[in-house]
Amino acid sequence: MQGDDKDAGNRRVIGELSIDVTFFRFVEDELLPAIGFNSSEFWRGLEALIVDLTPRNRELLQIRDDMQEKIDDWHKSQGGSPWNHAEYAAFLKDIGYLQDSGEPFQITTAGVDPEIATIAGPQLVVPVGNARFALNAANARWGSLYDALYGTDVISEDGGQERGSSYNPTRGAAVIRYASDFLDRTVPLESGSHGDVSAYSIDKSSASAACIATMIDGSSSGFREPGKFVGYAAQGARRSYLFRNNELHVEVQTDPEHAVGKNAPGNVSDVVLESAITTIQDCEDSVAAVDAEDKVGVYRNWLGLMQGTLEASFDKGGREMTRQLNADRKFTAADGGELVLSGLSLMLVRNVGHLMTTDAILDKDGNEIFEGMLDAVVTSACVMANSRQTERLANSQSDNVYIVKPKMHGPDEAAFTNTLFGRVEELLGLGSNTLKVGVMDEERRTTVNLQECIRAVKDRLVFINTGFLDRTGDEIHTSMQAGPVLPKETIKAQPWINAYEDWNVDVGIRCGLPGRAQIGKGMWPKPDEMKQMMDTKQAHPEAGANCAWVPSPTAATLHAMHYHAVDVQQVQEALASRQLASLEDILTPPLGDPVSLDEKTIQDELNNNAQGILGYVVRWIDQGVGCSKVPDISDIGLMEDRATLRISSQHIANWLLHGITNKEQVMETFRRMARIVDEQNAGDPDYRRMSDDYDASIAFEAACDLVFKGCEQPNGYTEPLLHAYRRKLKAQ
C-alpha cells in the first residue's frame, strides 16, 4: 500500500476509512491476489462508493420509519371503526406507500445461464459461513434417488421395510420399485415397464445412438420419446444412461457387480437425479455474522467456492472425512460428441439488506458502514476469481455475478440497489449489468409495488420469490396498531396469503420473467417430513414457480421429481392470461376478534411462540448458529432462521400491545419454555442452559427483548438485537 495509510491499534487507516485489520489482511492477502486487482485502486474505489451512497441509504431507512409512524398513527385514529379498504388504500397512496403502476414492460436481462433462465428445479439456501454445509449444497446438483428414498419416510417402514443400522433388502426392493415407477412416468419405454427390464444397452447403428431395454421375456423395447436419451458412459462393469426431461437430467446407472444392482431389474444400481439446480449461498438470514471476524469467515468461504479450493474436514463414524467440490460429469453424447455437465449447483450469493452495519470498516466519523454495501463489493470481487479456476466448468458460463438482495421496501430501495450494483461494476471493472439481482418479495411495500420494483432493476433482474415467513413478520409489524392478529396457523388461511403468492407469479409473468429469470417459492420447513413434502410441494411448480426452496440435498433430489411431473413453462404460459390477484386481499391485515380467543388458545399460542423463539435464539447467541433444525414444542424438527423468529416475536409483541396477554404471563411462559428447550438440547455438549440462572443467560435476555421491545424494532427485524447480544457474549 502507498500513501498516508497508517495503523491504529487493531485497525488500518486508509484515506478516511478505518479498517479492521482482520478484514484488511483478508482483502490484501487473499481476495486481491485471487482476482489480480490493484490494492490502492480497490480501497480508493470502495471509499468513494461508501462516501457517495451512504447518505441515500440513511435517507431510505428514515423513509421506512416515517411511513411506519404514519401508518401507526392512522390505525390509532380509526379506533374501532369497521375496516374500509378504499380509505386505507387512499391513505397509503397519499403517503407514498402504495404507488401507481406504470406502463407495462418486459425485463431485458441478457446473458442469463440456463439454470436460471430455462431450467426449473429445486433451490437450496445454505449458510455460506459453514464450509461443510456450503460444500454439501454446492455438490447437491446431483443426488442419489435410491439414497433419498431409502433414508426418508417417503418409503413406509411397514411390512418389514424398516430402516436400521444395516441394509434391509425388503426396504431396498421398495426403493427400487419406487424408482422404476418414476422412470416409467418420466422416460417411459415403448412397451413394458422399467421394473421388467433385464438389461439396458446402446444401439449405435444410426448417426444418433439409442438406448435399448431388453425385457425379462427376451423382447426388446425402445423409448416412447427417444429424444430424451442424450448420452452414456462406461467404466468397467458400470454403465450410465443419461436422459433429459423438462430440461432436467436423469442418470440411470447399472452395475451387475454392485450389491444392489446385481439383484435389481436391469441391474440398476442407482438412479441419479439432477437435483439442486441452483443454490443460494447465504450471507444473511441463515448466518450469525456480527463483526469483522465473522464477516471474514463468510467471505473466505465464498471466495473458496469461487476458486474451487474450499474444503471441510469432519469426523464421520470415527474417521476423518474431507469434503471438496465435485468434479464435472462427462458423457458421450448420443451424437458421438463429448457431453460435459456441471457437477455443481449454480451458486447465487445472498447479501444482507439495507439496514445493518458492520464494524469491518468505520467511516471518517467513526460510524460503522452499511453492511449491504460491503457485501456487494466483496462478494462480487470473490466471483471474479471463478473465471481463474480451471478444474471444473465455471459457476456462470456467462461470467455473471448472481446476488440475491433481501428486505428491500418498495421501488426506491430497489433502485438504490441498482445504483449500488452499477457502482460496484465500475469499481471492479466489470461490464454493465454483470451483477444480476434477485429481488426477494418478502416485505409488504415491495409486494404491493412489485411491478415497479422489478422495473427499477429490469436490466439485471434474474429472480423474484415469495417468502411467507418474513412477509408475515412484516405484515404483523406494519399493521401492529390496527388490532390483534389471528393465531399463526389461522393467519396462513387468510385470503391475503394466497393473493400474495398468486400476485407474485402474475406480476412476474406479466413483466417477462419466463425464459429470463426465476419465479420462486419458499422453504419446506420440516427436513424429516419428506413424505409430507412429496405429497404437497408439487403445488409450487403447479403454481408457476420454476424454483422452490428445500432444506437439504436429500429434499432437493426428492423435490426434483415434481419438476419432472410438471412442465413449468407450460404452466406459466397458461397463467399468463389469468386475472391479476386481488390487491384488496393483499392489503387486508390478518386481524382477529379477541373475544374468540379462549384462555387455552392464548396459552397454547404463547407456548408455541416462546419455545420457538428460545430454541432458535439460544443457539444463535451462545453458539453463533444462524440456521438450524430446532425441535418445536412437539419435538418435530423445523428449519429456523431469522424469518421464523421475526414472526414469533412480532406475534407476541402484538398480543401484548392489544391486551390479549400481559408481561407476567409472557415471562412465565418464557421461563417454562426455557426449561423445555434446555431438556431438548441436553445432548449438546456445547449448550448453555438458560433455566439454571435466567438473569445470567444472555440468550434468555435476548429472547425476551425481542418480544418486549418488538414494537420498536425497525420493521420488526430481529437482527439489531441479535447482533447486540451476540457481540455482548463474544466480549465476555
Q: Is 116 in contact with 463 (CB distance < 8 Å)?
A: yes
Q: What DSSP designation does 517 have?
A: S
Q: How many beta carbons lie within 10 A of that of residue 366, not counting itself?
A: 7
Whether 5 is a known active-site residue: answer: no
| Burial call 304-313: b when 16+ CB within 10 Å, e when fewer | bbbbbebebe
Distance CA 228, CA 250 (A): 10
Does 350 qualify as catalytic in the annotation? yes
Report CA dihedral (298, 301, 307, 311) to the nearest 10 degrees.
180
Amino acid, res. 252: V
Using the CB atoms, write b or e for 261-292: b if 16+ within 10 Å.
Answer: beebbbbbbbbbbbbbbbbbbbbbbbbbbbbb
Q: If you search the block for the grid coordinates 445472498, which residue do you land on?
A: 350
3-class secondary structure, 485: strand
Pick from 636, 630, 637, 628: nearest CA to 615: 630
Place of cell 399460542: 605
Nearest one of 320, 457, 369, 322 to 20, comparing CA atoms: 369
Instruction: Find the DSSP H helices in 323-448.
Output: 371-384, 411-428, 444-448
Query: Could you give the CA distance from residue 290 to residue 406 in angstroms, rounded to a whole number?
Result: 18
- Do the Cβ atoms of 628 and 642 come closer than 8 Å? no
Rounded CA gap, 122 and 548, in Å? Answer: 5
Residues in CB range of 138: below 8 A, 6 or more apart: 279, 281, 305, 325, 326, 344, 345, 347
- CA-CA distance, 393 to 370, in Å (whole number)? 34
- Cβ contact 121:274 at 8 Å: yes
Q: Of 133, 135, 137, 167, which is closest to residue 150 (Cα–Cα)?
A: 167
Tell me which DSSP letter residue 194 carries.
Answer: G
Secondary structure (DSSP) of 75-95: HHHHTTPPP-HHHHHHHHHHT
Dmax (CA) of the chain: 84
Among residues 239, 300, 350, 689, the one annotated as catalytic is 350
CA distances from 372 to 72, 354, 368, 500 (A): 28, 6, 12, 27
CB atoms within 10 A of CB 692: 11
626-633 CB contacts, 8 Å cutoff, 24+ apart = 626/127, 626/129, 626/285, 626/286, 626/287, 626/288, 626/289, 627/127, 627/282, 627/285, 627/286, 627/287, 629/527, 629/528, 629/551, 631/680, 632/608, 633/607, 633/608, 633/673, 633/676
Answer yes or no: are the C-beta atoms of 105 and 455 closer than 8 Å: yes
Q: Single out the catalytic residue among 285, 291, 506, 641.
A: 641
- Cβ 137 vs Cβ 276: under 8 Å: yes
Q: Cell 418474513 belongs to which residue?
A: 470
Name the residues annotated as catalytic. Answer: 350, 641
